[in-house]
Amino acid sequence: MSSPATFRSPASRYFPFFSLLLALIGCTMLMVPGCTSEKKNEGKSGQKKKSAVPVAIEASQTKTLPVELGAIGHVEAFASVEIRSQVTGTLRSVHFKEGDEVKASQLLFTLDPRPFAANLARMEAELAKNKAELENAHRAGGRYAQAAQKGYVSAEQADQAATKVATLSATIKGDQAAVDAARLELDYCTIRAPLAGRTGEIRTDQGNLIKANGDSPMVTINQMQPILITFTVPGQHLPDINKYQAAGTLKVLAAIKDHGAETLAGALSFIDNTVDPATGVIRLKASFANTDQALWPGRLADVRIRLTTLPDCVVVPSQAVQIGQQGPYVYVVKADQTVEYRPVTPDMLHQGETVIKTGLQAGERVVIDGQLQLTNGIKVEERQGLPPGKAEASGKEAESGANSARGSR
């Protein structure tokens, strides 16, 4: 007899699967609190990194600043002389090299003096001859005067003798003038420098025939110590220039690009008497000692004419001032290391600094780099020694790193 069949319900057939499913759900529920806690911690960490933005900070200062007018000027010689011969002759000698520094009265050129010396000798001989004739005429006139008184000769003859004396006297004066002219021409055979300066290119050579007052100069001499810089400023500044010049000589500063950071100091020496009606500018000149010859005729220079000085100006680095939809502003760093959006009224610029007319007090700290990441009230941290532009890049990298960390999870 066979044993009775064992009965199994359909649910008991899937029991092992339900047990495994319940175990997996339990493990998942145990892991959820840990993951949630980790994400919260990561969120807080990311929020902390984002809230402390690295920036460069500098305190505003009080300074006494000059009021200046800027312009581009060109350098020109204090005096420029074109050397030409005043007589026609053959160039015998050149006593300098082109580009040399020459002194006043230094010998430059020598023309062949022989024709002029011969002409002078002829004029002197003519003068001596007429002087001898004049002496004889004086004696003859005296004799004719005495003879006329005694009736030996007529009065007309005496008058002729006196006229001859007067004629010879006038002739001698003309001869003396001719002698002086011939001697002057002989002196012109030696050409000397009329002033001290630097010579330019020599435009003639030894042996050439030099014409008197030729079209082309033999050489040009530029006086470079002192030297001038010519520049123009808008005519609207003329009243201020006249006002401050009346109180004393105005200082002018000049800088040449390839002369390093050195600034050369001079003085305003000329104000033109007319404002150009076409451009509305007025021409000025400044004189510089130029002892080291840093200024060279024809070069360009950055010029600043100093009118006066303003004391107690609140200044900040110019990069601290930003322009927004509502106008200029700065971010002021408060004691709790949060920033405050502060509208300001900027004034003039001076050597990388901006004068703040209103909106900022001396000593307040402002952000000079990294403003693009800031909003009113956000917390910042100062990066010591961070070059301009690096603070902003560093902040972007930190924020990018935080975003990448959150995305990976």
286 and 321, same domain (yes or no): no
Greater pLDDT, 288 or 351 = 288
Q: Do 402 and 320 lie in a common domain?
A: yes
Tell me if 159 is assigned to some domain. yes
Q: What are phi and psi of 162, to 5 degrees?
A: -65, -40
- CATH number for the domain spanning 386: value is 2.40.420.20
The answer on pLDDT for 393 being more than 50 is no
Residue with tokens 């975003």, as numbered in its chain? 403
How confident is the model over 296-323, as a mean pLDDT? 93
Per-residue confidence at 387, pLDDT binned at 50, 70, 90? very low
* In the block, residue with structure tokens 């000589």: 249
Distance CA 13, CA 24 (A): 20
Same domain membership, residue 393 and residue 318:
yes
- The DSSP secondary structure of 260-283, one letter per residue, reads TT--EEEEEEEEEEEE-TTT-EEE
Residues 175 and 239 in one domain: no
Q: Could you tell me if residue 348 is inside a domain?
A: yes
Q: Provide the pLDDT confidence category of residue 48 given band limits of 50, 70 and 90.
A: very low
Q: Is the pLDDT of residue 302 over 50?
A: yes
Q: Which of residues 311, 344, 364 is at a domain's end?
A: 311
In the predicted model, what is the mean pLDDT of residues 236-257?
A: 92
Q: Is there a single domain that holds both residue 287 and residue 337?
A: no
- The answer to whether residue 1 sits within a structural domain is no
Q: Which two tokens stand for residue 177?
A: 């003038």
**Is residue 18 scored above 60 in pLDDT?**
no
Token look-up 């100091």 returns: 265
Higher pLDDT, 261 or 245: 245
Residue 279 has pLDDT above 50, yes or no: yes
pLDDT score, position 47: 44
Does residue 261 share a domain with residue 208? Answer: no
Q: Which domain holds residue 249?
A: 69-77+223-311
Predicted pLDDT of residue 16: 53
Q: Is the pLDDT of residue 244 over 90?
A: yes
Q: How far apart are CA 262 and CA 1, in angstroms?
A: 126
| Overall average pLDDT of the 25-30 stretch | 52
Most confident stretch, 13-17, 45-49, 113-117:
113-117
Q: For the ranges 11-15, 243-247, 281-285, which has the lowest average pLDDT?
A: 11-15
Instruction: Say if residue 92 is in the same domain as residue 210.
Output: yes
| Residue 155 pLDDT | 83
Same domain assignment for residues 351 and 400 = yes
What is 301-335 written as a DSSP string? EEEEEEEEEEEEEEEEEGGG-EEETTEEEEEEE-T
In CATH, what number is assigned to the domain containing residue 91? 2.40.50.100
* Distant-in-sequence, close-in-space partners of 387: CB < 8 Å, separation ≥ 6: none
Which pLDDT score, from 0 to 100, does residue 61 have? 93
Q: Do residues 92 and 206 touch, judged by C-beta distance below 8 A?
A: yes
Cα–Cα distance measured from residue 71 to residue 268, given in angstroms and rounded to the nearest whole number = 13
* CB atoms closer than 10 angstroms to residue 125: 12
Residue 349 lies in a domain: yes
In a domain, 23, yes or no: no
Q: Quick one: 211 and 269 in the same domain?
A: no
Residue 282 lies in a domain: yes
Q: How far apart are CA 351 and CA 249, in angstroms?
A: 23
Is residue 194 a part of any domain in this protein? yes
Phi/psi for 218 (5° steps) reads: -70, -35
Number of structural domains the chain divides into:
4
> Is this prediction's pTM over 0.95?
no
Q: Which two tokens stand for residue 178?
A: 């001719």
pLDDT in tens, 319-351: 999 999 999 999 999 999 999 999 999 988 888
Q: Is the domain of 331 the same as that of 400?
A: yes
Last residue of a domain, one of 311, 326, 360: 311
**Mean pLDDT throughout 242-247?**
92
Q: Is the pLDDT of residue 396 over 50?
A: no
Give the mean model confidence (pLDDT) for residues 245-262.
Answer: 85
Mean pLDDT of the chain: 84
Query: What pLDDT was estimated at residue 22?
Result: 54
Q: For the residues 76-105, what does the mean pLDDT come to?
A: 96
Reply yes or no on whether the pLDDT at 406 is more than 50: no
In a shared domain, residues 108 and 122: no
- Domain finish residue from 168, 200, 216: 216
How many CA atoms lie less than 13 Å away from 307 in the CB half-sphere?
A: 14
Q: Is residue 278 a part of any domain in this protein?
A: yes
CATH of the domain at 293: 2.40.30.170
Same domain? 232 vs 144:
no
